[in-house]
Amino acid sequence: MNQHSTQASLPLAGLLVLDFSQFLAGPSAALRLADLGAEVIKIERPDGGDLCRSLVVADQRVDQDSALFHTINRGKKSFAADLKQPDDLARVKALVTQADVMIHNFRPGVMDRIGLDAQTVMALNPRIVYAAVTGYGEHGPWRDKPGQDLLVQSLSGLAWLTGNAGEHGGGAPVPTGVSVIDVITGAHLVQGILAALLRRGVSGQGGQVDVSLLESAMDLQFEPFTAFLNSDRTQPARSVENHANVHTAAPYGIYQTRDGFIAIAMTPMDRLAELIASPALAAQAGDAGTWFSNRDALKQTLQAHLVQQDSAHWLAALEPAGVWCADVLTWPQLTEHPAFTALDMTQTIHSPDGQAMQTTRCPIRLDSQRLTNSRGAPRLGADTETIAQTFGLPQLRTTTS
Amino acid sequence: MNQHSTQASLPLAGLLVLDFSQFLAGPSAALRLADLGAEVIKIERPDGGDLCRSLVVADQRVDQDSALFHTINRGKKSFAADLKQPDDLARVKALVTQADVMIHNFRPGVMDRIGLDAQTVMALNPRIVYAAVTGYGEHGPWRDKPGQDLLVQSLSGLAWLTGNAGEHGGGAPVPTGVSVIDVITGAHLVQGILAALLRRGVSGQGGQVDVSLLESAMDLQFEPFTAFLNSDRTQPARSVENHANVHTAAPYGIYQTRDGFIAIAMTPMDRLAELIASPALAAQAGDAGTWFSNRDALKQTLQAHLVQQDSAHWLAALEPAGVWCADVLTWPQLTEHPAFTALDMTQTIHSPDGQAMQTTRCPIRLDSQRLTNSRGAPRLGADTETIAQTFGLPQLRTTTS
């Protein structure tokens, strides 16, 4: 059962996590706990299981499930149970009494109807950490709204922070191209779970941890959102061109060059004008007080100048001078770069039928060790009987899987 | 010293964290630890301290520092020390021997020269969790490159996932408008620190936790990046219009309506065509196999139809039918909405001179309690003498602050 090369010293070794959640936010939290050494058992419906099993992207399947499912659920086990069947529920409750953590992302009210709400579970097992992800919290007018990444990017104001303002540059709100809200919410859930486990080490008592996509989305934006809260509360404006952040002055942004794009972070505009030898920019950039208020015009002049030479030309002029700048790489460019190789950020995992696939590893290094785990995701219900025996679960009168 | 309303039961109560880091990634990790009950002491240069103190955005200052600094450093204390002065260093080392956690984000090698590298510190205090943030890891060709959010968005491939592809829709890589890499890296650092503290509860030994902006950026992208790794490794294409995710089929995206914008997540196109009464879309959307491959044309037809009516019209047609859709709100619209009020996501903090400002609270709820802390950020060095007395630090022969 030990696929980690260094599992004995992993910080969460010996902890049992029951994961009732589906898709990304909850399962990504359980994935991190697994990467850190916990035993994670997915509790799945016998008919189809985690809906992510059938969510195929880029036409990629591995073994019987989507490659996406393997990405998010590597290193876990699967226990099939129909929570509406009393026999299955009794087995799950027997597991719950032995678990350290449980995670679910059912909509508010569902676990109460099943009889696995926090109060009932914590009466069964006072040491358990009961963790839940919702879209918008358990109360309020949005409690039944679908909790989905793109929708929360849209409702939380995040989409209005990205992309260029104005008619010429577009002006539409732009979603971030990864499920950033799901990922940050999962990360917050892990923080809450680990903190509650630390408290248990002192008190002996478990606890309840709740996160929601919307609260986590506001935390993700806490820097500019706090500035908004303490302003006249008008929406902060994006740049018309090369927009990167509502509150940063020129040149902060990504610029087209003759053969690609470069990013330039906070830099004094007069110094920048000198380094790139642009008299037009130098003439415009005299007064530091205008680098924010006049950023659209300054960025326009800068862009017109930078597009005349290749990225390498500009980086050679700027980097040695200490300007914070960088190439804008595609994944093919990044993964072929020695700096990426030096990270050793990928690992090979193996599906139940022995297929190999590449994925990322846990981004946290412990005691200078990279944490890897070569086990792919389990087939639906693959571990049901082994788990029933290991944990002494009640016999089924009927078979559901 | 107790500004939390419920600090006694906070999970990290009693833990001492020394935070040597600046700007966002490291300090945001320390902020979360403070929100969860730890005592966090910023160790700052006597001349100016954390550079974020003078990083003013939106023209907002509170007390003697930027409002941004208060946002990130609320609830912490400040100890002024010049690590190049032997007396100051001796005091800091005396603190280090009593701390549970230390965090820094110096570039690789700096802490070795000061004599506060992991090996030295863990010899002084074997129970300490020594946590470090770098831009790109401690080795490799980018180890000395500036570790900054926009630059890592650009180098990690993230910027090429956002915004529309193609000449008409723009085609430039688009950075996400918040410091998403800093925030996720800080979140990973907290995870690593808490996991190492849990392990210490069993082993009695501290440990070393390392994260980097680039590794965290790859973890943030782990879903689509894994699909890339297992493909022919060509860069996945963005949609030409209404782009939201390189791997999702139409209609996934944000669409302009007559009076605003709406987001529509995964939805069968034929069903969508029926609900919005678009014969043109229905004619195009017959074959589910084309919803990805033909997404640009499908989105174009959908966009042309949706722009003819107001957002409310479409949401009234789609939401009751179970389609995952939402309005795209600005912050003024969001903060005036009862669903936001129901979250109770903001709190008032007070600066040393008694000024009040609004900010967000910790996004994690514990035992159904929201965690708030009304204390703003400390003035530079405000707690130096109190801390020196409380922790019995050696006397200074000379005064540096």
Over the stretch B188-218, which tens digit does the pLDDT of each residue have?
Answer: 999 999 999 999 999 999 999 999 999 999 9
Residue B182 annotated to the active site: yes
Chain B interface includes A213 (CB < 8 A): no
**Mutual angle of helices A180-203 and B213-220, in 10-degree steps:** 110
Distance CA B277, CA B292 (A): 21
Residue carrying the six token digits 């350290």 = A100
Chain B hits for A369, Cβ within 8 Å? none
Distance CA A211, CA A195 (A): 13
Q: A32 vs B191: CB contact, 8 Å cut-off?
A: yes
Which of the four pLDDT bands, split at 50, 70 and 90, describes residue B58? confident
Around B8, how many Cα atoms within 13 Å sit in the side-chain half-sphere? 0
Q: Which two tokens stand for residue A111?
A: 């676990």
The pLDDT of residue B170 is 59
Interface test with B, best of A24, A144, A145, A155 (most B CBs within 10 A): A155
The pLDDT of residue A5 is 45
The pLDDT of residue B398 is 58
The pLDDT of residue A399 is 53
Distance from CA of A29 to the nearest CA of B (A): 10
Which of the four pLDDT bands, split at 50, 70 and 90, describes residue B401? very low
Chain B interface includes A229 (CB < 8 A): yes
DSSP secondary structure code for residue A97 in this structure: T
Q: Which residues make beta-bridge pairs with B44?
A: B80
Touching B: A residues 61-80, CB under 8 Å:
67-68, 71-72
Which of the four pLDDT bands, split at 50, 70 and 90, describes residue B117? very high
Query: Would you say residue B5 has pLDDT above 50?
Result: no
Contacts of A220 (CB under 8 A, 6+ apart): A158, A180, A181, A184, B178, B180, B183
Residue carrying the six token digits 């061109």 = A241
At CB < 8 A and 24+ separation, what contacts does A336-341 make? A337/B141, A338/B140, A338/B141, A339/B136, A339/B140, A339/B141, A339/B142, A339/B214, A341/B140
Contacts of A358 (CB under 8 A, 6+ apart): A346, A347, A348, A349, B226, B229, B230
Q: B198 vs A199: CB contact, 8 Å cut-off?
A: no
Query: Would you say residue B2 has pLDDT above 90?
Result: no
Chain B hits for A233, Cβ within 8 Å? 331-332, 335
Contact A167, A244 (CB under 8 A): no
Residues in chain A: 401
Q: Which two tokens stand for residue A290?
A: 């205008």
Give first-to-last CA distance, chain B, whole Å.
23
CA angle A150, A156, A158 (to 5 degrees): 75
Among candidates A397, A390, A355, which has minimal Cα distance to A376? A355
Distance CA B395, CA B280 (A): 81
Calculated CA dihedral for residues B83, B57, B376, B345, nearest 10 degrees? -130
Q: How far is CA A313 from CA A275, A299, A328, B159, B161, in A?
A: 11, 19, 14, 21, 25
Give the nearest partner residue to B141 out of A141, A161, A342, using CB atoms: A342
The pLDDT of residue B166 is 83
Chain A hits for B211, Cβ within 8 Å? 363-365
Q: B24 vs A223: CB contact, 8 Å cut-off?
A: yes
pLDDT by 10s per residue, chain A, length 401: 334 444 458 999 999 999 999 999 999 999 999 999 999 999 999 999 999 999 988 889 999 999 999 999 999 999 999 999 999 999 999 999 999 999 999 999 999 999 999 999 999 999 999 999 999 999 999 999 999 999 999 999 999 999 999 864 459 999 999 999 999 999 999 999 999 999 999 999 999 999 999 999 999 999 999 999 999 999 999 999 999 999 999 999 999 999 999 999 999 999 999 999 999 999 999 899 999 999 999 999 999 999 999 999 999 999 999 999 999 999 999 999 999 999 999 999 999 999 999 999 999 999 999 999 999 999 999 999 999 999 999 988 755 44
Contact A376, A70 (CB under 8 A): yes
Chain B interface includes A52 (CB < 8 A): no
Residues in chain B: 401
Q: Which residues make beta-bridge pairs with A370?
A: A365
Chain B hits for A357, Cβ within 8 Å? 226, 229-230
> pLDDT by residue (tens digit) across B273-328?
999 999 999 999 989 999 999 999 999 999 999 999 999 999 999 999 999 999 99
The pLDDT of residue A371 is 95
Q: A57 vs B238: CB contact, 8 Å cut-off?
A: no
The residues of A carrying an active-site annotation are 182
> pLDDT by residue (tens digit) across B32-42?
999 999 999 99
Contact B323, B310 (CB under 8 A): no
Question: Per-residue DSSP letters for A297-344?
Answer: HHHHHHHHHHTTS-HHHHHHHHGGGT--EEE---HHHHHTSHHHHHHT
DSSP secondary structure code for residue A264 in this structure: E
CA angle B381, B386, B389 (to 5 degrees): 130
Distance CA B258, CA B104 (A): 50
Contact A329, A281 (CB under 8 A): no
Around B91, how many Cα atoms within 13 Å sit in the side-chain half-sphere? 28
Go through the domains of chain A in sequence order and give each one's CATH number.
7-220+343-390 (3.40.50.10540), 261-327 (no CATH)
The pLDDT of residue A401 is 47
Which of the four pLDDT bands, split at 50, 70 and 90, describes residue B76? very high
The pLDDT of residue B6 is 47
Query: Would you say residue B234 has pLDDT above 60?
Result: yes
Distance of CA A348 to the CA centre of its chain: 21
State which H helix or E strand residue A68 sits in.
Answer: helix A67-73
ipTM over 0.95: yes
Q: B68 vs A254: CB contact, 8 Å cut-off?
A: no
Q: Which two tokens stand for residue B30?
A: 């320390």
